[in-house]
A = this chain, B = another copy of it.
Amino acid sequence: MKTEIIKFDNVFLNQTAAVVGSKEKEGPLGDKFDSFCEDDRFGQDTWEKSETEMVKRTLEALLTKSDYDWKDIDLLAGGDLLDQCIATSHAVNNNGIPYLGLYGACSTAAEGLIIGSAFAEKGMVVGTLASSHFCSAERQFRFPLEYGSQRTPTAQNTVTGCGSFLLSQNKSLVRITEAVIGKIQDNGISDANNMGAAMATAAIDTLTRYLQNSGKNVNDFDLIATGDLGHEGFELAKEYAKSTGLILGDNFMDCGMMIYDLNTQDVQAGGSGCGCSASVFAADICPRIADGELKHVLLIGTGALLSPKSIIQNKIIPSVAHLVCFERC
């Protein structure tokens, strides 16, 4: 029988943690992060090492807040935006915990939660993580910061942040109950400064597959949060959904718009990067589910699967969106 929706019977979210940079600290969710770094360097002399240090601090915060010790963790699964995901692999180097490296661009947080849930369901204690850093990502995907290049209004601002999640069969107030793995697709966009547009249709495709196969409708959820379309992609997603007959209301939000104040912060269309939805869910949305403010929440993690080389070669941007369903117990 075809599996459209993956069900998890017994997977609980035991803890979350998020560490961010200065711009994220200044945003609307600033008080909710576990820690931040004033100059985004995290005490390091390259931006790649800075990102690695941020990931380490996030894992330390996760374990400090939880009832677990490093030796209790059976698996870490995660990744970042850097070539060959080196920020994360250096962060977990020699920490003694088995590790699976993932690449899903900005959808990595959702991908980690889905894969992590599959192993948690087998009785393992699993940490998932996703990170991005504005300065390492700008250097890699666009220009070194020193160039001072201007950005287009549709561009998204890579979040400096790492979010982490601890999953197991040990009961808690928040369950992960269902997931939909996204199908890679493109809609003709090849502009790396308009990734929101490239991902918008993938987000709606995955949401529609979920609604059709679950029999649920958008009003069954307190929050449906994409991560991360930014303002441009978010508006396009709503328009595209409407053209298919799906009306998205006030419970439809985007993590890339939640993490910054788009009116006062210089972030163009909003946040993006693996660390955006990861840190917004870890610091804000998951705690609100645990508090009972939100009871049914969907994360739709969206990823634009481009590389610096694919952009130079003028290739189209394949996109993906993975869905994760959170429920208050």
Report A303-316 CB contacts with B as 1/0, cut-off 8 Å. Answer: 10111111001011
Most chain B C-beta atoms within 10 Å of own C-beta, residue among A97, A103, A115, A320: A103
- Which B residues lie within 8 Å of A320 (CB)? 89, 99, 101
Closest Cβ of chain B to A103, distance in Å, is 4
A83 to B75, CA, bound (A): 24
In chain A between 44 and 77, which residues have their CB closer than 8 angstroms to a CB of chain B? 46, 48, 71-72, 74-75
CB distance from A146 to the nearest CB of B (A): 16
Asked whether A100 and B102 contact (CB < 8 A) given A86-B307, A93-B185, the answer is yes
Cβ contact within 8 Å between A84 and B307: yes
Any B CB within 8 A of the CB of A3: yes
User: 0/1 per residue, A207-228, Cβ < 8 Å to B?
Assistant: 0000000000000000000000
- How many of these chains are in the complex? 2
Contact of A181 with B by CB under 8 A:
yes
In Å, the complex CA distance between A300 and B79 comes to 22
Per the bound structure, the CA–CA distance linking A89 and B305 in Å amounts to 7
Please tell me the number of chain A residues within 8 Å of chain B, measured between CB atoms: 63
* Besides A46-B313, A94-B186, 5 new A-B residue pairs in contact (Cβ under 8 A), listed by A number: A84-B307, A89-B320, A94-B184, A115-B115, A121-B122
26 contacts between A and B (CB under 8 A): A1-B123, A2-B72, A3-B123, A46-B313, A79-B103, A81-B84, A82-B307, A82-B309, A83-B84, A83-B308, A85-B103, A89-B184, A90-B315, A90-B318, A93-B316, A94-B185, A94-B186, A95-B183, A95-B184, A100-B102, A100-B322, A101-B305, A102-B102, A102-B103, A115-B115, A118-B118
